[in-house]
Amino acid sequence: MNHSLQDNTLTILLDKRVDIKNADQVEEEIFKLVGEAPGASVVIDASELEYISSAGLRVLLKLKKKVEGELPIVHVCPAVNEILTATGFSKILDVHPEDPDAKVGDWADGSGKIEVVVDV
């Protein structure tokens, strides 16, 4: 997992998928990095993230509870933005889609439908 620490801001770059297969490892790595940078602001860079499951969302929720202040998630692709919006996480986290015109916090099309993807 790539990361950088500049001006007391820890930026963590998530890999392509955070799901049941790797969520525990991702959580361990993130919390290790946060522990090594006490008092630093944390920013999650989702520019490479293509999918996040409920296990990955749990990691973000735990992180949100640990850090003080906002937890920005930047460069969020449309698919991940939809997941964050559908689950209500866009109301808990400070989500910044890669598309500046994308809606955050409400269904983009107003349909109220959700696509369920099952990991096999």
Show the DSSP H helices in the chain as ranges. Answer: 23-35, 54-66, 78-86, 89-92
Q: What is the mean pLDDT of residues 103-117?
A: 50
Sorted by sequence, the CB contacts under 8 Å of residue 10 that are 6+ apart come out as: 3, 4, 33, 34, 37, 40, 41, 42, 43
Cα separation of 50 and 69, whole Å? 26
Q: What is the pLDDT, as a whole number, of residue 69?
A: 84
Q: 2-22: per-residue pLDDT in tens?
A: 999 999 999 999 999 999 999
Contact 1, 27 (CB under 8 A): no
What average pLDDT does the structure give for the chain? 85
pLDDT tens digits along 66-91: 988 889 999 999 999 999 998 989 88
Domains of the chain: residue spans and CATH: 2-97 (3.30.750.24)
Would strands 9-13 and 2-6 be described as parallel, antiparallel, or unpaired?
A: antiparallel
Q: Which of 109, 45, 55 is nearest to 77 (CA)?
A: 45
